[in-house]
Amino acid sequence: MISTEVFETYRPPRFLWNGHLQTIFPNLTRKVEGVVYQRERIDTPDGDFLDLDWSTVGSDSLVVVSHGLEGSAQREYVLGIAKAFNRRNIDMVGVNCRGCSGEPNRLLRYYNSGSSDDLHTALLHISKSYSYKKIALIGFSMGGNITLKYLGEQRNTLLPQLAAAAVFSVPCDLGASCRQLQLKANYIYRKRFLLKLREKVRIKMNLMPGQINDDNYASIKSLADFDDRYTAPLHGYENAEDYYTKCSSKQFIPHIALPTLIVNAKNDPFLPNESYPISEAKENPHVMLEIPEHGGHVGFVDFNSENEYWSEARAVAFLKDYLTF
């Protein structure tokens, strides 16, 4: 369904008048204090590992958070979620993608926008090792795509504790979002991603000489180029287009059977029209799509005494009916 006035829509501070400012400002200025993680390392079925960062208050409800491309559970938007839910006596765990927790992963593969297998591994571990009565999923950007994909593909086999999900700034069509990042106005984001991804490649080169290299990396001008050369072959896809086709979450949204909130700001510089799943949401009563005019990409800046951003308040407001507050 398409949301109407269910929750007060986001209104940015006046000096953040466009999507770029709303995207960049929190990355440069936000500092979330008071969250102390306890790290847990778990093994994956293929011999790798995942690092889980826990922030707990002794609750029987839990939110599981998935971060964005080249992010981690240490990013401020994840810490903000941890603090917001801990304040309301809900436990939180951040799932770090392979190679994103400060230590290289063991295998040549790392992570991609369709890595729902790793989310599944984390959730199975949590289910078997802890006694949470209710679990909700939260995802940002790439983590939102992974979350929606997981919910759709696992529709009939979800853990009974899973109660709901909320995702923000989701590139529901990966190919279209990559093309969007090629726009001249998005040069700074594209450049940053490609530099950080090259660091990943170089780490692998040192650990696994002869198996991967960054020869002629300067010829890579887009994320699609990177995905064609690295992501697709390392993760079993024919090419970038095959990867985008199989992993874009838009196709999985019709199959979601869990209460799910999708929030994609209309002025998100990363998102083209294809990443607003309007028809899919209209046809699925379990999915609520909200498209506020403002917010940027994983922005939603707000100023208040709790240093709580609008996206955090929105996640709390939506999930409170499904968790034990």
Q: Please say whether the beta carbons of 173 and 264 come within 8 A.
A: no
Please report how the helices 174-181 and 240-247 are oriented relative to each other, as an axis angle in degrees rounded to 10.
Answer: 120
Q: Which CA distances in Å does 157 have to 4, 60, 173, 221?
A: 31, 22, 25, 40
Q: What's the burial of 51, exposed, middle or buried (CB within 10 Å: 0-12/13-18/19+)?
A: buried
- d(C-alpha 232, C-alpha 236), whole Å: 6
Q: Please say whether the beta carbons of 166 and 318 come within 8 A.
A: yes
Active site residue 91: no
Could you tell me if residue 99 is left (phi over 0), alpha (psi between -120 and 50 degrees) or otherwise beta? left
Residue 241: CB atoms within 10 A of its CB come to 15
Active site residue 268: yes
Question: Which entry of 51, 91, 173, 268 is annotated as an active-site residue?
Answer: 268
Could you tell me if residue 168 is left (phi over 0), alpha (psi between -120 and 50 degrees) or otherwise beta? beta
Active site residue 67: no
Question: Which entry of 113, 141, 248, 275 is annotated as an active-site residue?
Answer: 141
Burial 10-34 (b: 16+ CB within 10 A, else e): bebeeebeebbbbbbbbeeebebee
Residues 311, 313, 316, 320: is their CA dihedral positive or negative?
negative
CA 53 to chain centre: 15
Question: Which entry of 67, 286, 294, 297 is annotated as an active-site residue?
Answer: 297
User: What DSSP line would sit under 225-241, residue for residue?
Assistant: HHIIIIIHHHTT-SSHH
CA 158 to chain centre: 19
User: What DSSP line would sit under 116-150, residue for residue?
Assistant: HHHHHHHHHHHHHH---SEEEEEEETHHHHHHHHH
Active site residues: 141, 268, 297
